Amino acid sequence: MNSDQGSLLLKKQLADLTKNPSEGFSAGLIDDENLFKWEVLVVGPPDTFYEGGLFKAHLYFPKEYPQKPPKMRFISEFWHPNVHKDGEVCISILHEPGEDKYGYERASERWLPVHTVETILISVISMISEPNDESPANVDAAKDWREDYNGVFKKKVKLCVRKSQEEC
């Protein structure tokens, strides 16, 4: 698929999300002239420390989309074991397709061209609710998650929630 076909696919996904919004997030283009850069607003999932937060993130689609995955980066401060300190989301479905050279992930868990903006964001919301602390992108957040969930971890997440509310 070339970038023209990727553009058509992204245009269709944008129209679908506009017509049938999903619960838990909203998504749209950063700039109407560029279908490959999206801004999303992720609502902190209920019954988690993130509840009440409105977290801004960007999705950057490569020219080879949908053969290659987008990258997602939280713009809002976000303390989570599977989010790098710079905000980049580390989740299996956003990893390059094929076998994992380290043997940690199965190919079926990694990027597949059938994924859409909606399936990506549903997976991210699931990741927020249930972190994988066995393979953390943010070792410090994973340590807080494991060792002081209701203390230090909760305090840092609640600070991120407050900051996200001030941004909106």
Distance CA 88, CA 128 (A): 13
Given CATH 3.10.110.10, say whether it is the number of domain 2-167: yes
Question: Is 90 labeled as catalytic in the residue annotation?
Answer: yes
Q: What's the whole-number mean pLDDT along residues 81-103?
A: 91
In whole angstroms, what is the distance from residue 76 CA to residue 124 CA? 15
Nearest C-alpha neighbor of 137 from the set 103, 91, 105: 91
In this prediction, residues 17-26 reach a mean pLDDT of 94
For the chain, give every domain's residue range: 2-167
Distances in Å between the Cα of 59 and the Cα atoms of 36, 120, 149 are: 8, 10, 29
Q: For residue 101, what pLDDT is reported?
A: 78
Among the listed residues 41, 48, 40, the one whose alpha carbon sits nearest the alpha carbon of residue 126: 48
Q: Is 166 exposed, middle or buried (0-12, 13-18, 19+ CB in 10 A)?
A: exposed
Q: How far apart are CA 78 and CA 139, in angstroms?
A: 14
CB 69, CB 87: distance < 8 Å: no
The tens digit of pLDDT for each residue in 33-72 reads 999 999 999 999 999 999 999 999 999 999 999 999 999 9
Give the mean pLDDT of the chain.
94
pLDDT of 108 higher than 90: no
**Which one of the listed residues 10, 43, 59, 90 is annotated catalytic?**
90
